[in-house]
Amino acid sequence: MKSVVMPGHDPASRLLAPARFQRVVVAISGASGAIYGVRLLQMLRAMDGVQTHLVVSDAGWLNVQQELNMPRAEVEALADMAYPVHDVGAALASGSFQCDGMVVAPCSMRTLAAVALGLSDNLITRAADVMLKERRRLILLVRETPLNLAHLRNMTSVTEMGGIIFPPVPGFYQRPQSIADMVDHSVSRVIDLLGLPQPDAPRWAGLPPVVMPGHDKPAPDCDPGASTPGDCHSVPGSSPGLQHPGAMDCGSGP
């Protein structure tokens, strides 16, 4: 099967102008969580100047069907180009294909192992291999639980080679109201890692300042602008007496 330029996409303007477009390879492998790959495609599609190249493994298509009940054509239509996973002769298989980054979402333990060992046994693992050899950004949304030592070692190997292991583990500090909230939060962080601008992405603005019992001012060592939840909580030995006025209201985030 040949690589497909998706209908409605203009190859002349979108595929032949790498200087104007960020090219991102999106791969969906057979781990649970096909929604992450699909949502990533949707969010990248809504961004100006981003061109997506999609590869889905055989097991990835199984999970798209099982988890999302989405027809293949509908998923492929979210990308600018879609490639058969066994087409190791596709452009993506070469370092000469100018590309800014690759995300495997979700990434199965099999694909992780193949990337960790440099197996390049299909177009996903070959494209990932190219990312690592060309020192480009590679982000793997690995999904399995619990993890055995092979999984952990493979994650270490990929990290040592410059890849980013990004298990899509949801945070609860922004009080997600739905699965879509949790998925969007992870995908938005992935897009940050690709270096693409997201001016409208919701961002954590920090907890309100901590007020010590008997004081009417924030604790001196509290950084009200802390970007990581917990920074203001961690006053050693004093947490039972600490209060965050309005803390119950801050969870929805800015």
Ligand X SMILES: Cc1cc2nc3c(=O)[nH]c(=O)nc-3n(C[C@H](O)[C@H](O)[C@H](O)COP(=O)(O)O)c2cc1C
| Residues whose CB falls within 8 Å of the CB of residue 101, separated by 6 or more in sequence, listed in order | 24, 25, 131, 136, 137, 138, 139, 194, 195
Q: Tokens at residue 179, please?
A: 């699965």
Whether omega before 202 lies within 30 degrees of 0, making that bond cis, reads no
The residue range among 30-38, 75-83, 171-179, 238-246 that interacts with ligand X, by the rule CB under 6 A, is 30-38
* In the complex, minimum distance from the CB of residue 205 to ligand X, in angstroms, rounded to a whole number: 33
Q: Which is nearer to ligand X, 22 or 108 (CB)?
A: 108
* In the complex, minimum distance from the CB of residue 105 to ligand X, in angstroms, rounded to a whole number: 12
* In the complex, minimum distance from the CB of residue 66 to ligand X, in angstroms, rounded to a whole number: 5
Q: Tokens at residue 73, please?
A: 């054509």
* In the complex, minimum distance from the CB of residue 118 to ligand X, in angstroms, rounded to a whole number: 15
The residue range among 23-31, 47-55, 170-178, 194-202 that interacts with ligand X, by the rule CB under 6 A, is 23-31
Single residue of 29, 154, 174, 188 touching ligand X by CB under 6 A: 29
Q: How many residues bind ligand X (CB under 6 A)?
A: 16
Single residue of 5, 6, 59, 70 touching ligand X by CB under 6 A: 59
Single residue of 24, 31, 54, 123 touching ligand X by CB under 6 A: 31
Burial class (CB in 10 A: 0-12, 13-18, 19+), 61: middle
Sheet with strand 50-56: strands edge to edge: 4-5, 81-84, 50-56, 22-28, 101-107, 137-142, 164-165
Residues in contact with ligand X by CB under 6 A are 29-32, 57, 59-60, 62-63, 66, 108-111, 143-144
